[in-house]
A = this chain, B = another copy of it.
Amino acid sequence: MHDRESKRADLAKWLPALTWMRVYDRLALTDDLIAALIVTAMLIPQSLAYAILAGLPPEVGLYASMTPLIAYALFGTSRVLAVGPVAVVSLMTAAAISQIAEPGSPDYALAALTLAVLSGVMLLVLGFLRLGFLANFLSHPVIAGFITASGILIASSQMKHLFGVSAGGHNLPEIVTALAAEMTRLNIFALLIGTCSIAFLYWVRSGLKPLVMKLGVSERAAELTKRAGPVMAVVVTTGLVAIFDLHDHGVAIVGAVPRGLAPLSMPTFDPVLWSKLAGAALLISMIGFVESVSVAQTLAAKRRQRIDPDQELIALGAANIAAGLSGGYPVTGGFARSVVNFDAGARTPAAGAMTAVGIGLTAMFLTPLLYFLPIATLAATIIVAVLSLVDTHAMQQTWRYSKSDFSALAATLLGTLLLGVEIGVVTGVVVSIGLHLIRTSRPHAAVVGQVPGTEHFRNVDRHTVVTSKHVASVRIDESLYFANARFLEDRLYGLVVDGTELKHVVLQCSAVNDIDASALESLEAVNHRLGEADVRFHLSEVKGPVLDRLRNTNFLRDLSGEIFLSQFDAMQALDADSVARARGSNAADAEKLHNDARIIAGKHGET
């Protein structure tokens, strides 16, 4: 019995759906059904629009909104995440594939679903190897810069639909140049539909909710009405095109969408294509994973639920493989749709599966209604959606907090805008890792002295402290590793030349969490070289785990000095005179100095 329980728990770890399926009841069913209906209505225009953004036929967006939802419902750990086509991943798909095949061609669609499978396999492998932490190397500033730049790129890439012209480009200079060249062919009807849709969508965001609430609608319902803005714009503009035959005046429309469920499809196994797509697939996987996990974590916290990032990798992997096997393209968890799902009261991932059924029914029966839907309206919904990705507030905050982090953000932003999404992300990652290494390669280091009348030691430059001419004590506020090992050596050698009466150097290790092999070798060199100059080298306040590892080496045996539990012990042992001085100086003086030191320490908040 117990055994059966634990087997069930094991299985539920890999198939989280088992957890909620066992307690699924009619109440949950009703809630999920309502949420699914609302999300379906929202997803239809969105998935068509994102497919077009990715350079694919609109129905591919519908296909990518069916099977991935079901796969995620089985394997995902978030109760409310809604996966499917999203703006940034669609842009990255377009950037990756348009270098390989002609947009609109069958090769292009084949490459897109191959990209989904490849990205899915990568996510699965990362998940099984529990390598989700690799996504951490995309720092927040890099993601902020990338998402903002993507928003700008996507909005500008949609301008052509607003103007009713055709133009390409995968970075800002290309897009602007291509657009400028086409301006003479501007279609006034498309422009009217597009700009009016944008104006309407912006009004919906701010004006609709108060209006319907005045009509006595509850706040939650009003919030959901607000989310229905794009659907209203689609219905009205489709009607206008149909009534006034605007497509005969050159307004681009969705046209005939094949009816039917997502087709079974197979990716190509051409190794040349796989190797061409591998880099893009990895970036799409990582960016998609980061976006999806942060959405899932935000929503889970609201209900005191928890998500498992490594299992999320597996679930997103399964969703992408499902997308690739059913005529879709890369998908991930989307922010807007997940929030709608959450707000609409979804209780379990079954809501996602029901949404998939809703999209399926649409694809089977309702596509004729989409015939007259103008592309300009879809472009308008995308532009309004992605401009909210442009986060100037995050930029200001980062600038204020850390110039170094801001440089990483700016490098990613400019790299993405000017050179394209892939180079942009890679630039950002390299810059942020480089800056981190540079920052930690010159750690804060202070020569310390004893605060009179206490056992505390503080920076000689910031406090009134007692020092010894025979003993120099240095505190380094950083773990010691290869990037700062030489800094450490330089700092300690510097002491020896400056103080000719010097007999002891004490390194206070209270802030040292780790010592790697390079730093160990530097410490050995310091010990050796100080020894050559007849100066003994000591350590104080070494943390337990660090000391444990040093015990595996010859360092402690070869050390000319000792390991002291505290800096005070070190000073007592090495220069009892100076300690006596710190203690014995006229009591009132000592009290005063002590208070001064505490005031200064308090001011600087130093501990």
Partner of A304, one of B443, B533, B547: B533
Q: Which residues of chain B have C-beta atoms less than 8 A from A485's C-beta?
A: 136, 139-140
Contact check, B439 vs A553: say whether CB atoms are below 8 A apart. no
Chain A: residues with Cβ within 8 Å of the partner, total of 86
0 or 1 for each of A119-141: is its CB under 8 Å from B? (1 = yes) = 00000000000000101111111
- A205 adjacent to chain B (CB < 8 Å): no
Roughly how many angstroms separate A323 CA and B304 CA in the complex, as a whole number? Answer: 69
Partner of A497, one of B304, B516, B530: B304
Q: Which residues of chain B have C-beta atoms less than 8 A from A300's C-beta?
A: 493
Partner of A517, one of B302, B398, B525: B398
If over half of A's interface residues share one DSSP class (helix, strand or loop), that class is named, otherwise mixed; here it is helix
- A518 adjacent to chain B (CB < 8 Å): yes
Contact check, A565 vs B607: say whether CB atoms are below 8 A apart. yes
Partner of A483, one of B137, B482, B544, B605: B137
Q: Report the nearest B residue to A405, measured CB to CB.
A: B517
Q: How far is the CB of A445 from chain B (nearest CB, A)?
A: 11
Roughly how many angstroms separate A59 CA and B522 CA in the complex, as a whole number? Answer: 38
Q: Which residues of chain B have C-beta atoms less than 8 A from A400's C-beta?
A: 552-553
Please indicate which of the listed interface residues A302, A490, A516, A606 has the most CB atoms of chain B within 10 Å of its own CB.
Answer: A516
Partner of A297, one of B441, B493, B518, B544: B493
Binds B, one of A177-185, A215-223, A429-437: A429-437
Roughly how many angstroms separate A530 CA and B486 CA in the complex, as a whole number? Answer: 42
Q: Report the nearest B residue to A476, measured CB to CB.
A: B513
Partner of A518, one of B139, B497, B552: B139
| A76-111 residues at the B interface, CB under 8 angstroms | none
Q: How far is the CB of A546 from chain B (nearest CB, A)?
A: 9
Contact check, A309 vs B433: say whether CB atoms are below 8 A apart. no
Contact check, B513 vs A405: say whether CB atoms are below 8 A apart. no
Q: Which residues of chain B have C-beta atoms less than 8 A from A565's C-beta?
A: 607
Partner of A302, one of B510, B522, B529: B529
Roughly how many angstroms separate A297 CA and B135 CA in the complex, as a whole number? Answer: 40
Q: Which residues of chain B have C-beta atoms less than 8 A from A138's C-beta?
A: 482
Contact check, A548 vs B136: say whether CB atoms are below 8 A apart. no
Q: Report the nearest B residue to A394, measured CB to CB.
A: B521
Q: Which residues of chain B have C-beta atoms less than 8 A from A7's C-beta?
A: none
Q: How far is the CB of A243 from chain B (nearest CB, A)?
A: 47
Partner of A133, one of B404, B438, B533: B438
Q: Which residues of chain B have C-beta atoms less than 8 A from A442's C-beta?
A: 133
- A402 adjacent to chain B (CB < 8 Å): yes
- A329 adjacent to chain B (CB < 8 Å): no
Contact check, B136 vs A486: say whether CB atoms are below 8 A apart. yes
Contact check, B482 vs A543: say whether CB atoms are below 8 A apart. no
Q: Which residues of chain B have C-beta atoms less than 8 A from A304's C-beta?
A: 496-497, 533
Contact check, B545 vs A497: say whether CB atoms are below 8 A apart. no
- A557 adjacent to chain B (CB < 8 Å): no
Contact check, B497 vs A401: say whether CB atoms are below 8 A apart. no
Contact check, B547 vs A605: say whether CB atoms are below 8 A apart. yes
0 or 1 for each of A591-607: is its CB under 8 Å from B? (1 = yes) = 00000000001001111
Please indicate which of the listed interface residues A136, A441, A530, A533 has the most CB atoms of chain B within 10 Å of its own CB.
Answer: A136
**Given pairs A136-B482, A139-B483, A302-B532, 8 additional interface contacts (CB within 8 A):** A133-B483, A137-B483, A397-B517, A400-B552, A401-B517, A477-B513, A510-B607, A544-B607
Sorted nearest first, the 7 A-B pairs with minimum C-beta distance are A139-B482, A301-B529, A544-B606, A405-B517, A140-B518, A544-B605, A547-B605
Q: List 15 A-B contacts (CB under 8 A).
A: A136-B486, A297-B525, A301-B496, A301-B529, A301-B533, A302-B529, A304-B497, A404-B516, A405-B517, A439-B516, A440-B479, A478-B513, A478-B514, A542-B605, A544-B601
